[in-house]
Amino acid sequence: MSSTEHGPANSAETRMNEKKCSWASYMTNSPTVIVMIGLPARGKTYMSKKLTRYLNWIGVPTKVFNLGVYRREAVRAYKSYDFFRHDNEEAMKVRKQCALVALQDVKAYLLAEGGQIAVFDATNTTRERRDLILAFVKENAFKVFFVESVCDDPQVIAANILEVKVSSPDYPERHRERVMGDFLKRIECYKVTYQPLDPDDYDRDLSFIKVMNVGRRFLVNRVQDYIQSKIVYYLMNIHVHSHSIYLCRHGESGHNVDGRIGGDAQLSPRGKQFAHALRGFIEEHDLSDLKVWTSQLRRTIQTAEELGVPYEQWKILNEIDAGVCEEMTYEMIQNSFPEEFALRDQDKYHYRYPGGESYQDLVQRLEPVIMELERQGNVLVICHQAVMRCLLAYFLDKSAEDLPYMKCPLHTILKLTPVAYGCKVEMFYLNVEAVNTHRDRPLESLCEGSDFDSCEATSGCVRF
């Protein structure tokens, strides 16, 4: 058999011609509208944004439609809670019209723009409003799943108002006491007409999850399909608590020095120096309650061994499998498999090494890690370049196009701290030199500089 008939280059062309669709996308046989329900300051927007980030990360095109944005477009100057009184007829007309406009945008996204899930982020506290939405989804043959957030803990509500609502465009003066007073009265306006989902009678045939007191209890009703089960699984795993996630790569390895990818090399002398510096970092920052996770490859285990603390090995944290290209340099790959080399540069996210993995495969493999990171306290993940890119892309809401080019240098720690609607990022370089293993995007580097400068993330670089 000649290599031209059955070799990697020929099979690569076939693989790259396959439909570029994630495994999760195959499970959504019709568009779905996720409808949020709940009084103000119950974490609906927090859940909407987080759920959207997760669904996009696993490959299901998802977008949030926040009704507050539409209302602010229609009514430029917010004056007071009076706008939300149920007997304010003029305001009620404006609010209903905003909902209708938003639903038309939902329709356009799902039918004309390639979207698969739309999250309708609003209070939707009355049966009248929900019946309007149900008529809309029936008319367009969409599926619908309701997410109701119920909270009667005054401390949680007050904390939410102070963390999120004080900085809302509705309150440009940001006076804490006045904001708190007005917003509590706004909540009372909604309470007058609030009709929670009724699982025993009126709403027994609907598909929904009730999230009670920020995830202390759940009620799930009539889950219809795979993607709805994924939504339930995710919402039952996200915990609202203060914690930080530390990500770093293993210390520099012998293969890093030689420019080889994959394999199971041991640490170089500078890699061992980094492991020692990492121990100092943990002690300096008093991270006594820190959990440490590694892959099952020697370079991450050797890095963790130096820390003098217990650690867990996760096979799913192993580096991307380069298949037939394992332990080769990029020059060797280009010479041996020129078509493979070119195809990977054309679409790095979907490209799968012959006998190996793609970044898309890696995201699927890492999903359990994301679920555990959402549930845990402070965790240090000592991993690998491709793995770290995938984890970072989830937390920083990066696209599949940008993910494979995120810069994750050796001997650098990233501290991720979840904040209201995003993630705060701090970078610590431990002053141990290492080779640069980053390859820029071909032709033009669109990811120059910091990869962490999104509108919902702040970043700093600290030399330690």
* Distance, C-alpha 74 to centroid of its chain: 30
| Residue 417 β-bridge partners | 424
Q: How far is CA 402 from CA 63, 137, 448, in A?
A: 18, 33, 11
- Identify the CA nearest to 448 among candidates 460, 437, 456, 440: 440
Catalytic residue from among 98, 121, 255, 411: 121
- Identify the CA nearest to 147 among candidates 31, 38, 27: 38
- CA-based radius of gyration for the chain: 25
Catalytic residue from among 98, 148, 151, 252: 151
Q: Please name the helix (run of DSSP H) or strand (run of DSSP E) that holds residue 218, with its range, or none.
A: strand 217-221
Q: Are 187 and 39 a contacting pair, CB within 8 Å?
A: yes
Catalytic residue from among 182, 189, 250, 423: 250
Would you call 278 exposed, middle or buried from its count of C-beta atoms within 10 A (0-12, 13-18, 19+)? Answer: buried
- Record the tokens describing residue 344, joined without a space: 């990977």
Starting at the earlier edge strand, list the strands of the sheet with 62-66. Answer: 62-66, 117-121, 32-37, 143-150, 208-212, 217-221
Give helix 359-375 / helix 385-396 axis angle, nearest 10°: 60
Catalytic, 6? Answer no
Catalytic residue from among 170, 306, 319, 321: 319
What is residue 266's DSSP assignment?
Answer: P
Catalytic, 177? Answer no
Dihedral angle, C-alpha 19, 20, 26, 31, nearest 10 °: -110
* Residue keyed to tokens 């099979």: 11
* Residue keyed to tokens 């679409």: 347
Catalytic, 447? Answer no
- Identify the CA nearest to 62 among candidates 89, 32, 91: 32
In degrees, to the nearest 5, what angle opens at C-alpha 425 toward C-alphas 422 and 430? 165
Which residues are known to be catalytic? Answer: 121, 151, 250, 319
